[in-house]
Amino acid sequence: MRKQFAVIGLGRFGSSVCKELDKLGHEVLAIDKDVEKVNQITNFSTHAAIANGTDETALQSLGIRNFDYVIVAIGDNIQSSVLCTLLLKEMGVERVWVKAQNDYHHKVLEKIGADKIVHPEQDMGTRIAHHLSSEKIIDY
């Protein structure tokens, strides 16, 4: 089933989420405050927009509350990530998935109602450790 996604923040994590969802045939709105990041994603998303994720009016004019999922992939700036998540939940977005930077960030996101909190670096580290552990080594 084709779903509607919006991805806010197009760093390495956000842009790869965006490109993969697009490849899977979903509708994806890619958002970043940096024009360069937006230009780089136009061929790999349904729509792309330059906007600040902490600007309520900008989010409203993009019709953000109508999306099935909004992914907040603003990493380094915890304050912006938190404010963006808060605005999205206040606006009634049902499913807000957020990339957390650390455990404190995670706790705050939990309190303000983020629906799913992800730690891509840790999760990938765990997966790779499992791969390494199950890798067969042929000893001569």
Site residues, ligand ATP (CB under 6 A): 8-14, 32-34, 37, 52-54, 74-77, 80
Least gap, CB of 120 to ligand ATP (angstroms) = 8
Q: Which is nearer to ligand ATP, 79 or 126 (CB)?
A: 79
The four Cα atoms 89, 112, 5, 64 give a dihedral, to 10 degrees, of: 30
Q: Which is nearer to ligand ATP, 45 or 80 (CB)?
A: 80
Q: Which is nearer to ligand ATP, 75 or 85 (CB)?
A: 75
Least gap, CB of 32 to ligand ATP (angstroms) = 5
Residue nearest to ligand ATP (CB): 75
- Distance between CA atoms of 101 and 103, rounded to whole angstroms? 7
Give the Cα-Cα-Cα angle 77, 83, 86 (nearest 5 degrees).
140
Least gap, CB of 109 to ligand ATP (angstroms) = 14
Count Cβ atoms below 10 Å from residue 118 Cβ, excluding itself. 17
Least gap, CB of 74 to ligand ATP (angstroms) = 4
Burial label, 84 (beta-carbon count in 10 A; 0-12, 13-18, 19+): buried
Write down the residue that tokens 């806010």 correspond to: 8
Q: Which is nearer to ligand ATP, 115 or 120 (CB)?
A: 120
Q: Which is nearer to ligand ATP, 74 or 88 (CB)?
A: 74
- Which phi and psi (to 5°) does residue 66 adopt? -90, -5
Least gap, CB of 77 to ligand ATP (angstroms) = 5
Coil, helix or strand for 50?
strand
